[in-house]
Amino acid sequence: MSLRLTLFCSAAVLFPMALSTPGLAQAVDPVDPPAPEEERPVEEIIVRAQRGPNSVPGDAIPETTLEAVEITALGASNIAEVLSAIGPRAGSGRGRGSGPPVILLNGRRIGSFREVQGLASEAILRVEIFPEATALQYGYSADQRVINFILKDKFRAITSELTAGKAAKGEQSRGEIELGVLNIGAKGRLSVNGEVSSQTSVTEAERGVRRADFPTSAAFRTILPKINTAELGISYNHNFGKSMAAAFDLRFNANQTQGLLGLTQSPTGLPVANAVIERYAKVDNSRAAFTLNGTTSGWQWTATGSADQTKSDTKTFSPFSQNQTAASTALVYEAIYNTTGPLMDVPAGPIRGSFRLGYQDRQLDAQSVRNGLTTPTNLSRGDATARANFSIPITSRRSSYGESFGDLSLSVNGFYTDLSDFGGLDGGGLGVNWSPITSVRLSVAYDASQAPPSIQQLGNPILVTPGYAVFDFQTGQTVLVDRTSGGNTNLKAESRADTTLSVNYAPANLEGLDLTLSYALNTSKDTVASFPALTPALEAAYPRRFERNSAGVLTGIDQRPINYDSAKSAILRYGFSFSKGFGPQIGRGPGGPSGGSGGASGMPRPPAPAATATPGQASAPSRQTTHPHDAAGTDQAATPTPPSGGQGGFGGRGGPPPFVFFGGGGFGGGPGGGFVGGPGGQAGRWSVSIFHTIRLEDFIILAPNLPKLDLLDGAAVDEAGGARRHSVEFAGGWTFMGIGFRMFGDWRGESKIIASASGVPNASDLYFDDLFTVNLRGFLNFEARPQWVKKAPFLKGSRLILRVDNLTDSAQIVRDSKGNTPEAYQKALLAPVGRSVELSFRKQF
């Protein structure tokens, strides 16, 4: 382990411990001023409560819960940015892929994340992060975390945001305009979101890329294309009484790119002046989805139907050759029914079942034209799937059955899929979940399944990109080749077997700290993967994928996906997240029944009556906060009962809008909108989360007659340098009185690609240094500066946001056996943008 990693991990452990010491706490937290009558604390009482109806049903307990004050401290504009800001806490420890988590809204399935990604962050009451096993009861496989966004009962706002960005080096600039309308009420929810963005291109010459063979061509080759994007989304949700709700979602997206691929080469191999190869690409996507959900006799059910169409059209123009085109139309029709609820009672509680039935029809029509030769592709796939999961309680503190053993439960799941092009595929798994004490949760799971290649991996149109720079390990030189991409109709289904162990610990005497550890052992047969890096071992296994001229110079490579014979990896991941408030307690008191945005009059008022929750809406937050483990009804938490306060309180336990700090009117959508009332919070908050991943084992076998390739010891599946044994993800932030910042990033250890061991003459090795990347987000809520708002009323409800990506302008450093950086691994090629800065002005009406 390097010195940098040792110091980093040591600091990560000591940092939260230091800030939690009494001496430092006294130094950080200012002395509270005498509290006015309505803010004086009252005697503590004992409460026992159930989780709200918009949480996940059953005995699933969130590993982390973010209240409104913590969400505000993230400085995020919408749900998508909140999800990004959660950072390492949303990552899966199961090691199987890197897909996004399962997203729920008010405890319910949604048709697509795009339906909710643009909802304003101010509308979020609470965010719950559940372990991967929770995904089973929603009809997903247990390899992704579940994140539940719970919205406020009432909210109304029009949100606009203007963004301008610039790269520190080169000529890349970016602009974006966003507009959103959101109205949440007792009858349902309406949201409209539109976005238009544009990004300029960056050429190799502008970033200082050097080309030994054709130095003049750098001005005619883009490393970042010009991109124009427009998107429109409309979502409407309506509640029918207390037990049923329906939602309709409509999305349109258009994306256009324009790039340069260098100069056309003459028959002698020399570039022709001003004969530029241009590529234009256009992708249009439209989607319509309908969701109906409800509760019947204690069973929660969701039925969804959707239709997606994606059209892509790519044209490559060359002055002295025939134009190359690749076009495709993909259609996806899907219908899913999912239900979960209690099946029968046993001494430890109810056995819960989750069942999913779904059908998906995919069609892909593609056609590519190159050198006058037309290659059509017409694929279709019907996918009928049945999935079931059973959660069986063995002991339970809540039911007073075997409580000396804590909470122990078993889960059994299985699925069967009938594919029109692959036949029947199946899988299943077992799991054990145990909480010996309320602050500790352990789980062990085994899953075995079969997974087919996607229809895109099978049938994407063939596309040849000329002038693609690659490093040829056989010669130790960087060459420009014709790179072939697209689908491979010969792919086979993959067989998987995964074993996972996870532990979560939330110390009761240190609120805000969560410790996690997970271990995953993943194996697969006929692994579907992108084509690996072109090492001598790979070329020996797939000689037909490479083209060389009579002089042995590499001229072409076919990088369409393949099946490995097998793969195996073992991953250990551990880390912590810690969040702590500081400063005076302010903003106490429940808001009005409208969630109002009235002025802070300071007049006491009786607490609002509890609202009755309806499907798709959050219930009114209790005036008495409970410990997260009270969800199971097993713990007691002593919490102060907040006194009644002025109108216009803030949501959840979160602090108030800035007017509570300084007086004045509220914001967030006028009467009946804005912020839901609830107990207040502290004036400031800081947080930190750090997770360290160690790859204990990682290898692949390309073919049965070939030795295994150890990705941790010189083998590689891509040109990024094989697998990194160590990697660290981190995120942290601080906010106080409307000003905040957040830093996040990652550190990846060193790696290498050893090609000289192949015995090929002149084969070169590559060594990849460790890489440390940091990003910065800062924000200023003008509402927290009433003297500015008084002078410029337009600033009311506005926020200034600063985004800096790759703050240290980091890029991977690569050296060959002689200590030189190969041409294909120049800094500008590996980090085309480098450091970039964006400034956004956001206003909410």
Average pLDDT, the chain: 79
Distance in angstroms (rounded) separating the CA atoms of residues 486 and 696: 33
623, 679 contact by CB (below 8 A): yes
Return the pLDDT at 665.
33
CA angle 133–135–140, rounded 5-degree value: 125
Return the pLDDT at 640.
36
Return the pLDDT at 99.
57
Type of residue numbered 698? D
334, 288 contact by CB (below 8 A): no
What six digits make up the tokens of 828? 């500008």
- Does residue 827 sit in helix, strand or coil? helix
703 DSSP 8-state letter: S
High-pLDDT (> 90) share of the chain, %:
38
Distance in angstroms (rounded) separating the CA atoms of residues 564 and 595: 57
Say what the alpha-carbon torsion angle 160, 166, 172, 177 is, to the nearest 10 degrees: 0
Higher pLDDT residue, 806 or 718? 806
Least confident window among 203-207, 340-344, 531-535 = 531-535
Average pLDDT over residues 12-40: 38
Average pLDDT over residues 364-386: 87
Using DSSP bridges, classify how beta strands 146-151 and 102-105 pair: parallel, antiparallel or unpaired.
parallel
82, 128 contact by CB (below 8 A): no
196, 217 contact by CB (below 8 A): no
Distance in angstroms (rounded) separating the CA atoms of residues 645 and 653: 14
Average pLDDT over residues 25-45: 39
Q: Inform me whether the pLDDT recorded for 416 exceeds 90.
A: yes
571 DSSP 8-state letter: E
Return the pLDDT at 726.
95
Distance in angstroms (rounded) separating the CA atoms of residues 56 and 227: 40
Return the pLDDT at 609.
36
What six digits make up the tokens of 360? 């998906």
Query: pTM here?
Result: 0.77
Sequence-separated (6 or more) residues with CB below 8 Å from residue 85: 74, 75, 76, 731, 742, 744, 777
Return the pLDDT at 670.
36
Split at pLDDT 50, 70, 90, the class of 571 is very high
Q: Inform me whether the pLDDT recorded for 568 exceeds 60.
A: yes
Q: Inform me whether the pLDDT recorded for 673 exceeds 80.
A: no
Split at pLDDT 50, 70, 90, the class of 771 is very high
Q: Inform me whether the pLDDT recorded for 616 exceeds 80.
A: no
Higher pLDDT residue, 317 or 785? 317
Q: How many residues does the chain have?
A: 845
Q: Inform me whether the pLDDT recorded for 267 exceeds 50.
A: yes
Q: Inform me whether the pLDDT recorded for 13 exceeds 50.
A: no
Q: Which helix (H) or strand (E) holds 540?
A: helix 536-541
- Does residue 406 sit in helix, strand or coil? coil
* pLDDT digits 0-9 by tens, 67-126: 888 888 888 888 988 988 887 777 666 666 555 788 888 888 887 888 888 889 999 999
Q: Inform me whether the pLDDT recorded for 40 exceeds 80.
A: no
Average pLDDT over residues 830-845: 92
Q: Does domain 155-576+687-844 have CATH number 2.40.170.20?
A: yes
Distance in angstroms (rounded) separating the CA atoms of residues 826 and 261: 18
Return the pLDDT at 252.
96
- Does residue 23 sit in helix, strand or coil? helix
Return the pLDDT at 718.
67
Average pLDDT over residues 489-495: 89
Split at pLDDT 50, 70, 90, the class of 681 is low
Average pLDDT over residues 548-555: 87
442, 435 contact by CB (below 8 A): yes
Q: Inform me whether the pLDDT recorded for 606 exceeds 70.
A: no
Least confident window among 104-113, 325-334, 653-662, 692-701 = 653-662
